[in-house]
Structure formats: structure tokens, C-alpha cells
């Protein structure tokens, strides 16, 4: 039996090694071929299929052309997408852009950045046409930048406003006999509410109502400008959900015509001056990126540090965006010490995370700002810990619907003694040398002294947060605390309250940085942290996919509970984290 065990184990190892070797050499060949510049034919249409996850920077998927787990994971980088649109503006071979969109996976600020790039493209005199079988609220917002919007005759446009829906777990925890032990500072710091309430608090309902109305009013204003429909009319259409089908969408002026795909292609052919039997030369976004280079030669560098994801201790790793404090402290320090870097732009797209990690990066950004201009550019989110980073910068640039602020602190632990003892029959006991026991424990409730300790600890963190915010924004502590208490604001609201300096996009932040560094006529932009090599990404994703698949196969239907548990673990300790995530549907 031992012989057969050894034999099959060795055989399995050889198979795994062979598969990895084959994938490695396929990757080298694919990587080498991808570096060759792609030729674009005359009279072409840039096809932007935007139903994908859109992140700040494009993350290469080494499995993209391979029949393995993870090969279908689509990703578009906002930076690269804007570069493609900007280059197409002056590319004589590109006659127009076809925006193919139904359900983009991103936030309104990212959509606004793309929308502005499309509007700038139209200044060239070239056309943009949008088409979809269905369009979500976010998809339609982006499509409204096009000259013409076409919809499938049996399709539909979602146009009924924004909704924030929050799930509450109190009843679940009551049934499981799990007691959350919550500490927070700020009446609007509502990230803990799902664990202790069955519905929103009045304070949270107030802030969310004002937040989504601010965002949506901006959205309707932009659509009104593009579609030449009065904003109050758009509000009525949305409030009453008058759009029930494609025909009504056309009658109300939201779309121009209802076309099947073959009819839409006929429209494109007319724009290109082609005959009925001629083929359209479509150029996909990924291919178009390989047809040009954005590299510039200059001794002056503007370092763009892209901080995307949840803030955590340790290093950034894996394919999902995470702001690991160790990684980013090192990147900021290197940019500060590099004499060729004349200015730093911190691109923040983060709902926050661990408090001390946020504070470490704040310190490094403060030191950098003493040496050279440091400008913050806010993406979809720059809240709580994300705002903590930004407030160290000289100038903060945000979009009107960026979600920011949330200056507050919370911490949470879980007393699972009832669940462990009464549900599964496991009990614990302890001995200790003093009044305090294990401070991070799930096996018993905290005593009064321990609770007082944690609350005082968070109170002190809050004073630190507000004090540094006042320092960075040149406001009094009293003025900062009026807009703090964990409350979230849109970029537009934040500017009115002194939390943001300028309403603008990422390009505006770059221009400001170049001007402040006196290199406006001669500079290049470089992005950090630098992306992993093909081989590093391949090994990382193989490990992640294998681990996830193994755990899922072992846990079966309980895998979703495992993922929730992993998320709950991140809430332990002091947190500077936004209270919710706004998703576009």
C-alpha cells in the first residue's frame, strides 16, 4: 500500500510539474508576441466593450488565452482605457468609437472619467455610437456621452434612480448566540450597524439619502446636457419609472433608434462609407492598446501611486486590489527620495481599512509633501482610511460624486461563547495575572474594564484622526468635528465643507502636480506599485485559484459562510473604514 501511495503521489507531482512547465512556455511565447506592435487598418472603428470590471490600472490575466480556471476574468484599466481613447482622437485610421455597454462593473466616478474622455474625443469631429441590448443605470450614463444611442427593440434601459441596500445580521447572530461587541466614535459611523441593528439608524438614513440624491442630481444634470432633455423631465421619468420598455425609451428621447444588431451594423457601414457587403474593420480595445506607445523621454517624472482597495497591514499581494501598508510606505518613500520624481500624485480609490496602517501611510505622505508637491486624486471612494491618506496631500482633487469623508473610528469583536458552548459543546476557561485577559478573544464576553479600555483607545484614535485632518486642511478642530462623526460626503459636498480643494478628474491632478513642480512643459508619468511580471502573476493566480477551489470543494454549500467569516475577521481592531459600498445596477 505504501508503494502505491508513493507511486501515485510522484505521478501527480510529475503531472502538475508538466502542466506548469507547458503553461510557463506558452506564457513566454504569448508575452513575447504581445510586445510586438499591432498594425491598425484604415477606416477602422474602435470597439470598446465595457461590460467588465474596471479598475484603476489594468491587471494582466496570464490565463486570458488558456483553457484554465480564471481565463474568463475580464479587467479593464481606467488609465489604459483613457490612453486608448486619447490616442484614437488623433489616429487617422480610427474613424469613430463604438461603445458596447450593458452592465459595467465600476462606480460613477470611474464612469465619469471615461465619459469625460469620450466627450474630449468628440472634439476631433469624429463620431461615437453606443449600442446595447440592455443598459443599466450606469451603462446609460456612460452611453449618454455618445452622438447616438441605439437599443435592441426588445431591450430595456434601467432609469429609476439610485438605491443603497444594506443587509443586517442581528437576527442571525441572535439565533447563533453570537454577540458583537462594538466600539465606535461618531454617530454616522454606521459600518457596525448591520451587526447590532435590524434596520438603518436615523443618522445613517439621513446621510445616505442626502448622498445618493447629490450623486444622482449630478448624473441627471450631465445626461440633460448631452441628450438635451430638461433635468426636471429626467427626474420625473426616473421617479415614476416611466421607462417600461424599449419603445418608451425612444419616445422619451433617452435613445435615438431601436435596432437589431444587423441593422446597427448597417448604420456603422453608412458612417464608414461602406457597401452592404463590405466588412467593418473593428479594433478591439485590447488590440488597440498594442498599436501605440505612451512612453515619453524626460528627466522629470511625476510618480502616480495608485492606492486601490482595502487598507491592510503588511504587503500588497494577490490579484485583488489591496493597499498593504508595508508596500505603500516603501513606494512613497522611494518616490520622495528619488531626485527624478518632481511631484507625486496619490490616486486613491479606497473605502478605508485598518487605522494604524492608514496612519503609517499618512506619515510617509506628510514627509513627502515637505520635499515636493503631493496631490491627491480621488476615485470612486476616498473615505475614512482613504481620506486619512489624502488629507496629508497639498491639494485634494475629487469628482462631484466621489464618496469621501467618513472621518470616524470603530472597532468590533465577537463573543462566540454562547455559540461555542450551546451549539457545538465547546467551552473555555482561563487564568490571568491581572484584571485584563486576552483582549482579542471570541471565547468569552469582555469585562467592563476591557470594554472601557477599548472605547478609550478608539476615542484617542478619533482625536488623532480629527487633529491630523484639521492640520492637513488648515481648519480648526471644531470645524473638522462638525463634518466628521463618521459622516460620508460626495466630492461636491466635501468641497463646500473644506474637505476637498478642487472638483476635477485625474488629468486635472496631473496638471496641478506638473505646475506646482514647475515642469508643466517637460515631464513623464509613471505608475506605482509596478505590476508583477508575467511569471509572478501566473504563479500568484495559480496559487489563489487552487486554494479557492480546494476550500470550496471541501466546504461545499458552507463556502459562503467561510467567506463571510474571512470578511468579519478584517473588522477586528481599530478601523477607519467606510460604512457601506455603493453598487451600480
pLDDT band at residue 9 under the 50/70/90 scheme: low
501 SS3 class: coil
* pLDDT of 89: 97
Tell me if domain 41-159+243-289 and domain 301-577 are identical in fold: yes
Candidate list 44, 190, 249, 384, residue with the active-site label: 384
Grid cell in block for residue 341: 520624481
Query: Could you tell me the pLDDT band of residue 176, with boundaries at 50, 70 and 90?
Result: very high
Is the per-residue pLDDT at 5 higher than 80? Answer: no
Q: What digits encode the pLDDT tens for the residues 450-495?
A: 899 989 999 999 999 999 999 999 999 999 999 999 899 999 999 9
Phi, psi of 17 (to 5 degrees): -65, -40
- Residue 471 CA to residue 360 CA, distance in Å, equals 16
Q: pLDDT class for 436, splitting at 50, 70, 90?
A: confident
List, for residues 369-423, the tens digit of each pLDDT value: 999 999 999 999 999 999 999 999 999 999 999 999 999 988 888 899 999 999 9
Contacts (Cβ under 8 Å, ≥6 apart) of 38: 287, 288, 290, 291
What's residue 71's pLDDT?
43
pLDDT of residue 530: 84
- Per-residue pLDDT at 281 exceeds 90: yes
At residue 538, does pLDDT exceed 80? Answer: no
488 contact partners, CB below 8 Å, separation of at least 6: 188, 207, 211, 383, 403, 404, 405, 406, 578, 579
Q: What is the pLDDT of residue 244?
A: 87
Average pLDDT over residues 114-138: 96
Residue 262's SS3 state is helix
Q: Are 290 and 40 in contact (CB under 8 A)?
A: no
Q: Exactly one of 89, 95, 126, 189 is catalytic; which is it? A: 189
Please choose, from the candidates 369, 359, 371, the residue with its C-alpha nearest in 3D space to the C-alpha of residue 325: 359
CATH architecture of 41-159+243-289: Alpha-Beta Complex (3.90)
**Confidence tier at 172 by pLDDT (50, 70, 90):** very high
* Residue % of the chain over a pLDDT of 70: 81
* Residue range 26-35: mean pLDDT, rounded: 51
Active-site annotation holds for 189: yes
Using 50, 70 and 90 to split pLDDT, how confident is the model at 59?
A: confident
- What are the cell numbers at 362? 499618512
Domain residue spans of the chain:
41-159+243-289, 301-577
- In angstroms and rounded to an integer, the radius of gyration of the C-alpha atoms of the chain is 26
Confidence band, pLDDT 50/70/90 cuts, at residue 265: very high
Does residue 554 surpass a pLDDT of 90? no
Confidence (pLDDT) at 65? 47
CATH level 3 topology of 301-577:
2-enoyl-CoA Hydratase; Chain A, domain 1 (3.90.226)
Element (H, E) at 549: helix 534-555
Provide the pLDDT for residue 33. Answer: 47
Q: Examine the residue annotation and report whether 5 is marked as an active-site residue of this protein.
A: no
473 vs 579 pLDDT, higher one:
473
Amino acid at each position: 500500500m505504501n508503494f502505491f501511495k508513493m507511486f501515485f503521489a510522484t505521478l501527480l507531482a510529475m503531472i502538475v510539474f508538466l502542466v506548469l512547465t507547458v503553461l510557463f512556455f506558452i506564457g513566454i511565447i504569448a508575452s513575447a508576441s504581445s510586445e510586438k506592435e499591432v498594425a491598425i487598418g484604415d477606416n477602422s472603428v474602435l470597439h470598446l466593450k465595457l461590460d467588465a470590471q474596471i479598475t484603476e490600472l489594468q491587471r494582466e490575466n496570464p490565463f486570458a488565452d488558456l483553457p484554465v480556471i480564471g481565463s474568463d476574468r475580464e479587467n479593464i484599466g481606467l488609465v489604459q482605457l483613457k490612453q486608448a481613447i486619447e490616442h484614437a482622437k488623433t489616429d487617422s485610421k480610427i474613424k469613430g468609437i463604438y461603445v458596447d455597454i450593458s452592465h459595467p462593473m465600476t462606480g460613477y466616478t470611474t464612469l465619469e472619467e471615461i465619459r469625460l474622455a469620450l466627450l474630449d474625443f468628440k472634439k476631433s469631429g469624429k463620431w461615437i455610437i453606443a449600442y446595447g441590448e440592455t443598459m443599466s443605470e450606469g451603462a446609460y450614463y456612460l452611453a449618454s456621452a455618445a452622438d447616438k444611442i441605439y437599443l435592441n427593440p426588445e431591450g430595456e434601459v434601467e432609469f429609476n434612480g439610485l438605491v443603497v441596500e444594506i443587509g443586517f445580521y442581528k437576527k442571525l447572530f441572535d439565533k447563533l448566540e453570537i454577540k458583537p461587541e462594538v466600539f465606535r466614535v461618531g454617530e454616522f459611523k454606521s459600518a457596525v450597524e448591520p451587526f447590532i441593528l435590524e434596520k438603518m439608524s436615523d443618522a445613517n438614513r439621513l446621510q445616505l439619502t442626502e448622498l445618493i440624491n447629490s450623486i444622482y442630481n449630478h448624473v441627471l444634470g450631465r445626461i440633460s446636457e448631452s441628450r438635451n432633455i430638461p433635468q426636471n423631465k429626467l427626474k420625473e421619468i426616473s421617479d415614476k419609472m416611466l421607462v417600461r420598455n424599449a419603445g418608451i425609451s425612444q419616445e422619451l428621447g433617452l435613445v435615438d433608434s431601436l435596432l437589431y444588431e444587423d441593422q446597427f451594423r448597417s448604420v456603422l457601414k453608412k458612417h464608414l462609407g461602406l457597401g452592404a457587403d463590405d466588412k467593418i474593420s473593428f479594433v478591439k480595445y485590447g488590440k488597440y492598446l498594442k498599436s501605440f506607445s505612451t512612453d515619453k523621454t524626460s528627466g522629470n517624472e511625476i510618480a502616480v501611486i495608485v492606492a486601490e482597495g482595502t487598507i491592510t497591514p503588511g504587503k500588497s499581494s494577490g490579484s485583488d486590489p489591496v493597499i498593504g501598508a508595508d508596500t505603500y510606505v516603501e513606494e512613497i518613500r522611494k518616490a520622495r527620495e528619488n531626485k527624478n520624481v518632481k511631484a507625486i500624485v496619490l490616486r486613491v480609490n479606497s473605502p478605508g481599512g485598518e487605522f494604524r496602517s492608514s496612519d503609517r501611510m499618512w506619515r510617509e505622505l506628510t514627509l513627502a509633501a515637505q520635499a515636493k508637491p503631493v496631490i491627491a486624486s480621488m476615485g470612486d471612494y476616498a473615505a475614512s482610511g482613504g481620506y486619512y491618506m489624502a488629507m496629508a496631500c497639498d491639494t485634494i482633487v475629487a469628482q462631484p460624486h466621489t464618496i469621501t469623508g467618513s472621518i470616524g473610528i470603530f472597532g468590533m469583536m465577537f463573543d462566540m461563547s454562547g455559540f461555542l458552548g450551546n451549539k457545538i459543546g465547546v467551552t473555555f476557561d482561563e487564568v490571568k495575572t491581572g484584571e485584563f485577559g486576552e483582549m482579542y478573544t471570541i471565547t468569552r464576553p469582555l469585562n467592563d474594564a476591557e470594554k472601557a479600555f477599548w472605547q478609550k483607545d478608539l476615542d484617542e484614535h478619533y482625536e488623532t484622526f480629527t487633529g491630523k485632518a484639521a492640520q492637513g486642511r488648515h481648519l480648526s478642530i471644531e470645524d473638522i468635528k462638525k463634518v466628521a462623526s463618521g459622516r460620508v460626503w460626495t466630492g461636491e459636498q466635501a468641497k463646500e465643507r473644506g474637505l476637498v480643494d478642487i472638483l476635477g478628474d485625474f488629468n486635472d491632478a496631473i496638471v496641478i502636480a506638473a505646475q506646482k513642480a514647475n515642469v508643466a512643459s517637460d515631464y513623464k508619468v509613471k505608475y506605482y506599485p509596478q505590476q508583477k511580471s508575467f511569471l509572478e502573476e501566473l504563479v500568484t493566480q495559480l496559487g489563489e485559484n487552487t486554494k479557492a477551489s480546494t476550500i470550496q470543494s471541501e466546504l461545499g454549500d458552507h463556502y459562503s459562510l467561510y467567506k463571510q467569516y474571512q470578511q468579519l475577521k478584517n473588522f477586528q481592531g481599530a478601523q477607519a473604514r467606510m460604512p457601506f459600498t455603493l453598487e451600480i445596477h
